[in-house]
DNA sequence: ACCATGTTCTGAACCGTTACGGTTTGTTCA
DNA sequence: TGAACAAACCGTAACGGTTCAGAACATGGT
């Protein structure tokens, strides 16, 4: 495990060739096409390389010549913490990483803070393509990626012209969930959602703000809820929606607190993510509310902890989402037509949803 | 958002220069040193670039010339799923990503499956340095990284000659935890641990296997437990240790099942990770064992879900660990001496540890 | 003895950029 | 009027490889 001695200047393929008295081509072949030279010579090359502390052809130079970076970039303009703290996002990341591993290419997390207009990093990233995940619709980083002459696939976002896309059918899934809640008899509901736009608003979200949301996923889910509840005769204007910029369990709890303080009569809390729902669950416990007897709580994503908590939620195959994105990107190139992959979702009814108390009262009423 | 028309052949800095009738240097300066040319010319360059669909200097060529890849590599030889499923590992990843973001460099996940001897990806990765996390001591990928003429910092691993290292004081932290358990009066304990070596062993781990473990963290924790319990008069040979290759909550549950089936009299289950402990908790519930009245369960890492579950555990600053590794790597270069950063840990006593039942019986006994 | 066929190795042309050390032009000031 | 100097731009030489079309030599068949 001794570190090879470093000469004054790093050894290069050329210096190695000179030392051996062979051409650079031959040394290159020793690494890339073993069948192009005699085994003895190859052995001699490799031995000399070790002696000189040469670890093989420089990756960057090789990339320049072959026009392959050997890595795909992941654009997460979101606050990085979000991407890592939400198990659903981590699932996508994992799936993508798996696809990359299969293909033997690296996965580069391209930096770019939200609100940070500095897209230089996008331009500087040596990658063969981009996967764009969870960025606002009008993000400058996304535009910068599109500028680059490499393929791009977007995840969980409306399709942009001619680009590949992968995502679940958010609307349909949300409609299923909403119908479940409606079917149980709930008419007084509240909603907890994630950040809708790049500006922080840890408060109730107006109808305008909901419809103007820059985050497509949230917009789609809210719109689907609205449609379903209005079809059931519930005016959406009467439905309180509380937004949280950050995305921790605690944020879900505080959002639930804010909503329940102002609207104590709601019988169901629909959360646009499991993380928020877990927080709501905690807050319900703190208030002594029984779930689901006093309050129905639903989530979205189907993360492990939610399953363990018995949460009613929509499960989406996050791992597959990431994998599909990776395969799409790595399989691009020759393809001309753009591809769209829509993934199946599944409503998982747990122990946190049930008929509303008011319904029961109605049952026993006059 | 229209994709710029792609000419037959991608525009390059040179073709742009030709089109404009200026030198390549000037075009390069337009992007990299705006002060080196007149604002008008710069504007003209940028406009022509847009017209030709030139998105700026090629990152790879630039990297070759400047000798800076603009990315650091993360070596996770572990099964990728482990890295993404364990919140503690994700925390390290997040910290590292944050440090990279601060520095404006990318973070490349370098592929390399466990047991896979193909280290080509390590050689092919265009990075300015490596962070090595959670790989077995003798991993070929690690060796390959060391070969490369770039700095390397290792996380959670014994220091190798002259390399930077960051990690918690695993031994001290484990001793604290063990003393807590010993102090409560437990003498009949069992241990659930993560994979000890690259070969799968979902079973009891012999003393030899424990001491021969290739994963340093696990080895250190087990050794510390052994020391502490033997100091308390408990023969380590009598302590059952169950190992699990995979690392999901379910694995923790099955490990607990296996251990309790064979050793029903243990009063405490010490788990080397929170994930395993959460599984043990679930299994205890399934058996109708009250925690901690009938069984004490402890974890390690201090992940969010553990806190929520009230688990007694050792909290380690995973985020800081990743950040520190990133800073160390990015700050290297001029430095000659290697640095070692040891992070503080904290014993967090929750509601899953208490005195053993036998102790209570003893209390009321003759 | 000759040609066809391998095998093994080489020379030179790129890949697209930036570093370095200029040259040219215009302005200022004694 | 011309020396001094800054601003604006340029030419050349890398950076470290891969690739392709051959050259040189040996082998085998006819």
pLDDT, tens digit, 9 for 90 and up, residues A303-330: 999 999 999 999 999 999 999 999 999 9
Mean pLDDT (chain B) is: 90
Give the pairing of strands B106-110 and A106-110: antiparallel
Q: In angstroms, rounded to a whole number, what is the distance separating the alpha carbons of residues A232 and B223?
A: 63
Has residue A158 got a pLDDT over 80? no
| Contact between chains at A149 and B55 (C-beta distance less than 8 A) | yes
Shortest-distance nucleotide from A42 CA to C1': C8
Asked if B166 and B341 count as a contact pair (C-beta separation under 8 A), the reply is: yes
Q: Is A36 on the interface with B (CB under 8 A)?
A: no
Q: What is the pLDDT of residue B138?
A: 82
Asked if A166 and A328 count as a contact pair (C-beta separation under 8 A), the reply is: yes
A13-20 helix and A24-32 helix, angle to the nearest 10 degrees:
110
Asked if A138 and A77 count as a contact pair (C-beta separation under 8 A), the reply is: no
B282: closest chain A residue by CA: A308
Range 153-172 of B in CB contact (< 8 A) with A: 160-162
- In Å, what is the separation between the CA of A28 and the C1' of C10? 12
CB neighbours of residue B94 within 10 Å:
22
∠ at Cα A63 (A17, A54), nearest 5°? 35
Has residue A205 got a pLDDT over 50? yes
Out of A3, A64, A162, closest to residue B60 by CB: A64
Shortest-distance nucleotide from A29 CA to C1': D18
Chain A CB contacts of B80 below 8 Å: 94, 97-98, 101
∠ at Cα A55 (A54, A56), nearest 5°? 100
Q: Model confidence over B104-116: pLDDT tens digits?
A: 999 999 987 656 6
- In Å, what is the separation between the CA of B231 and the C1' of C11? 73
Asked if A85 and A247 count as a contact pair (C-beta separation under 8 A), the reply is: yes
Out of B1, B90, B107, closest to residue A143 by CB: B1
Rg (CA), chain B: 27
Asked if A265 and A288 count as a contact pair (C-beta separation under 8 A), the reply is: no
Q: Which residue is nearest to nucleotide D13 (CA to C1')?
A: B65
Short-list A59, A3, A131, A63, CA closest to B119 = A59
Fold match, B71-164+318-340 / B170-317+347-364: yes
Short-list A134, A78, A88, A96, CA closest to A273 = A88
Give the pairing of strands B313-315 and B346-348: antiparallel
Count interface pairs A-B at CB distance under 8 A: 172
User: How close A235 gets to chain B, by Cα (Å)?
Assistant: 36
For chain B, what percent of residues have pLDDT higher than 90?
77
| Contact between chains at B59 and A126 (C-beta distance less than 8 A) | yes
Residue B233 Ramachandran class (φ > 0 left, ψ -120 to 50 alpha, else beta): left
Q: Where are the domains of chain B?
A: 13-66, 71-164+318-340, 170-317+347-364
Q: What is the pLDDT of residue B151?
A: 92
Q: Model confidence over B146-191: pLDDT tens digits?
A: 999 999 999 988 767 778 899 888 889 999 999 999 999 999 999 9
| Contact between chains at A101 and B111 (C-beta distance less than 8 A) | yes
Q: What is the DSSP letter of A288?
A: T
Q: In angstroms, rounded to a whole number, what is the distance separating the alpha carbons of residues B260 and B311?
A: 19
Q: Model confidence over A41-58: pLDDT tens digits?
A: 999 999 999 999 999 999
Q: What is the pLDDT of residue B113?
A: 65
CATH superfamily, region B13-66:
lambda repressor-like DNA-binding domains (1.10.260.40)
Helices (H), chain A: 13-20, 24-32, 39-52, 59-66, 80-85, 87-103, 120-124, 140-147, 170-184, 207-211, 216-231, 249-262, 274-287, 304-308, 318-331, 357-364
Chain B CB contacts of A110 below 8 Å: 106
Q: Model confidence over B64-94: pLDDT tens digits?
A: 999 999 999 999 877 777 888 889 999 999 9
Averaged pLDDT, groups of 10, chain B, 366 residues long? 49 93 94 92 94 94 96 86 88 95 93 74 95 87 91 84 84 95 96 94 97 92 96 96 95 98 97 97 96 96 94 96 94 72 94 81 40
Range 178-217 of A in CB contact (< 8 A) with B: none
Asked if A184 and A354 count as a contact pair (C-beta separation under 8 A), the reply is: yes
CATH architecture of the domain covering A170-316+347-364: 3-Layer(aba) Sandwich (3.40)
Provide the CATH topology of domain B71-164+318-340.
Rossmann fold (3.40.50)
CATH architecture of the domain covering B170-317+347-364: 3-Layer(aba) Sandwich (3.40)
- SS3 at position B182: helix
Q: What is the pLDDT of residue A5?
A: 42
Chain B CB contacts of A53 below 8 Å: 149
Shortest-distance nucleotide from B64 CA to C1': D15
Q: What is the pLDDT of residue A99?
A: 94
Chain A CB contacts of B104 below 8 Å: 111, 118, 120-121
Has residue A3 got a pLDDT over 60? no
Q: What is the pLDDT of residue B44?
A: 95
Out of B1, B71, B308, closest to residue A108 by CB: B71
Q: In angstroms, rounded to a whole number, what is the distance separating the alpha carbons of residues A71 and A128?
A: 6
What stretches of B272-312 adopt beta strand conformation (E)?
A: 296-298
B319: closest chain A residue by CA: A81
Shortest-distance nucleotide from A64 CA to C1': C15
> Is cis: bond before A292, omega within 30 of 0?
yes
Provide the CATH topology of domain A71-157+318-338.
Rossmann fold (3.40.50)
How does DSSP assign B212-238, residue by residue? T-S-HHHHHHHHHHHHHHHHTT--GGG
């Amino acid at each position: 495990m001794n570190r090879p001695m470093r000469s004054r200047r790093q050894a290069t393929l050329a210096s190695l060739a000179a030392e051996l008295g062979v051409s650079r081509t031959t040394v290159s072949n020793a690494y890339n096409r073993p069948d192009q030279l005699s085994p003895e010579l190859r052995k001699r090359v490799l031995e000399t390389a070790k002696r000189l502390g040469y670890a093989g052809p420089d990756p960057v130079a090789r990339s320049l010549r072959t026009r392959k970076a050997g890595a795909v970039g992941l654009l997460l303009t979101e606050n990085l913490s979000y991407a890592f703290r939400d198990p659903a996002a981590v699932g996508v990341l994992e799936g993508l990483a798996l696809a990359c591993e299969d293909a033997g290419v690296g996965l580069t997390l391209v930096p770019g803070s939200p609100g940070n207009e500095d897209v230089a990093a996008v331009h500087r990233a040596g990658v063969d393509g981009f996967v764009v995940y969870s960025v606002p619709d009008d993000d400058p980083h996304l535009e910068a990626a599109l500028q680059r002459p490499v393929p791009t696939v977007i995840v969980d976002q409306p399709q942009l012209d001619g680009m590949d896309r992968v995502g679940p059918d958010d609307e349909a899934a949300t409609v299923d969930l909403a119908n479940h809640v409606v079917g149980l008899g709930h008419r007084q509901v509240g909603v907890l959602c994630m950040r809708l736009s790049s500006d922080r608003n840890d408060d109730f979200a107006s109808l305008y703000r909901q419809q103007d949301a820059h985050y497509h996923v949230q917009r789609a889910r809210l719109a689907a809820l609205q449609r379903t509840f209005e079809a059931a005769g519930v005016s959406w204007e009467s439905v309180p929606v509380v937004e949280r910029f950050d995305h921790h369990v605690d944020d879900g709890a505080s959002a639930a607190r804010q909503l329940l303080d102002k609207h104590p009569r709601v019988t169901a809390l629909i959360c646009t993510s499991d993380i928020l729902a877990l927080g709501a669950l905690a807050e319900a416990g703190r208030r002594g509310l029984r779930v689901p007897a006093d309050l129905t709580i639903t989530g979205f994503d189907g993360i492990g902890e939610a399953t363990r908590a018995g949460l009613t939620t929509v499960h989406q195959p996050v791992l597959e989402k990431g994998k599909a994105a990776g395969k799409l990107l790595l399989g691009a190139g020759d393809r001309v037509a753009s591809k769209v992959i829509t993934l199946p979702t599944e409503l998982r009814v747990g122990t946190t949803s049930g008929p509303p108390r008011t319904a029961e009262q109605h049952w026993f009423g006059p």
